[in-house]
Amino acid sequence: MELEKIYELALELGIEADPRGKEEVERKLKEIREEYDEMDEEEKGEFDEAKLENPYSDTRILYGDQAREVESILVGIDIDVSEVLIADRLTEKGRNIDLVMSHHPEGKALAALHQVMHMQEDILYEHGVPINVAEDIMAERIQEVERRLMPVNHNKTRDAARIFDIPLLSVHTPADNLVTEYLQSKIDKEKPDKVENVVQLLKEIPEYKEAVTEKAGPKVVVGSEDRRAGKVVVDMTGGTSGSKEAFKNLSQAGVGTLVCMHIGEEHRKKAEENHINVVIAGHMASDSIGLNLFLDRLEEKGIEIIPCSGLIRVVRN
């Protein structure tokens, strides 16, 4: 399978699972194309043309010929120079690695992570927060994330991949969309009454079951297991953690319990102040589910998957 086709499949699956809905994603892409058509030549020269077809700024081919054939992939949640060296060493020992894939973005996909956070505005709106409020509370947080990423050495891993001539791909939000859809569907079907029922539902999923044995499984960090769950919302996509001011609005919109990958202390305190139960499902396990749903599709096409760097590989039929 060509590298470009793997990238395109990631985008296709991400759009299908996007919480905003496929029509809204296509509408936003159309807006970007129209803005591009009105740009002068200098502006077009600085524009990231991938945005004309790709709604996820944190998902990119970072190095490699798009037509390169891929038969085996080394895949991890976090990829840095050490994993690139592992790929080169495995190839040297006779186990060929055609592509290294990260979940968390590297290179320009990391530098542009803040751009994908605008989708959180629409997600908040879908959960009952007025869109003007959603855009206002997200604006400051998006700028904060952009500033935080500015001094980062984004291309360190990409440069190592270039030196060893190993293609490098980051697939972030598409995988996060997949795990969000997967978990929300399970929760909506089961309709857990209490927070403990939410936790038990998660522990029945293989990735979380294994994470429990590694002391990284689901845990209630706000509220308690014996409380009623109310409306349960899975919050696992949109780049990174959103605005801590959102908890007040979510509470007013009727959200009783949030299921998240992780939560910062300031965000946790805001959830507590606004009486929202928070279940931390587990970061590596949650990311693994999203990636696994994508990787299963690649395995169906005959591609070998070699998991590393925190990926809990589970195959679903």
Average pLDDT (269-283) is: 98
| 314, part of any domain | no
| 191, part of any domain | yes
125-183, pLDDT tens digit by residue? 999 999 999 999 999 999 999 999 999 999 999 999 999 999 999 999 999 999 999 99
Whole-Å CA distances, 241 to 92, 207, 246: 40, 22, 11
317: pLDDT confidence band, cut at 50, 70 and 90?
confident
Q: Answer yes or no: do 199 and 221 share one domain.
A: yes
d(CA 118, CA 96): 39
| 114, part of any domain | yes
Contacts of 224 (CB under 8 A, 6+ apart): 195, 277
Grouping H, G, I as helix, E, B as strand and the rest as coil, residue 263 is coil
Q: Answer yes or no: do 113 and 16 share one domain.
A: yes
Q: What is the pTM of this model?
A: 0.97
Q: Answer yes or no: do 78 and 143 share one domain.
A: yes
* CATH code of the domain containing 120: 3.40.1390.30
- Arithmetic mean of pLDDT over the chain: 97
**What pLDDT, on the 0 to 100 scale, is given for residue 222?**
98
Q: Answer yes or no: do 85 and 127 share one domain.
A: yes
Q: Answer yes or no: do 278 and 159 share one domain.
A: no
State the residue range of the domain holding 89.
3-173+286-308
Alpha-helical runs (H) found in 38-169: 41-46, 81-92, 107-111, 113-116, 119-126, 131-149, 156-164
Q: Answer yes or no: do 53 and 103 share one domain.
A: yes
Q: Answer yes or no: do 80 and 106 share one domain.
A: yes
Residues of the chain with pLDDT > 70, as a percent, come to 100
249: pLDDT confidence band, cut at 50, 70 and 90?
very high
Kindly state the tokens that stand for 270: 């805001």
| 248, part of any domain | yes
* CATH code of the domain containing 234: 3.40.1390
Q: Edge-to-edge strand order for the sheet containing 99-102? A: 60-63, 168-170, 99-102, 72-76, 304-308
> How does 57-85 read in b/e, with b if 16+ C-beta sit within 10 Å?
bbbbbbbbeeeeebebbbbbbbbeeebbe
| 88, part of any domain | yes
Q: Answer yes or no: do 49 and 96 share one domain.
A: yes
71-120, pLDDT tens digit by residue? 999 999 999 999 999 999 999 999 999 999 999 999 999 999 999 999 99
**What pLDDT, on the 0 to 100 scale, is given for residue 169?**
98
| 147, part of any domain | yes
181-197, pLDDT tens digit by residue? 999 999 999 999 999 99
Q: How many domains does the chain have?
A: 2
Q: Answer yes or no: do 90 and 124 share one domain.
A: yes
Q: Answer yes or no: do 206 and 136 share one domain.
A: no
d(CA 196, CA 108): 40
| 244, part of any domain | yes
Helix (H) or strand (E) holding 61: strand 60-63
Q: Answer yes or no: do 157 and 249 share one domain.
A: no
| 317, part of any domain | no
Q: Answer yes or no: do 41 and 16 share one domain.
A: yes
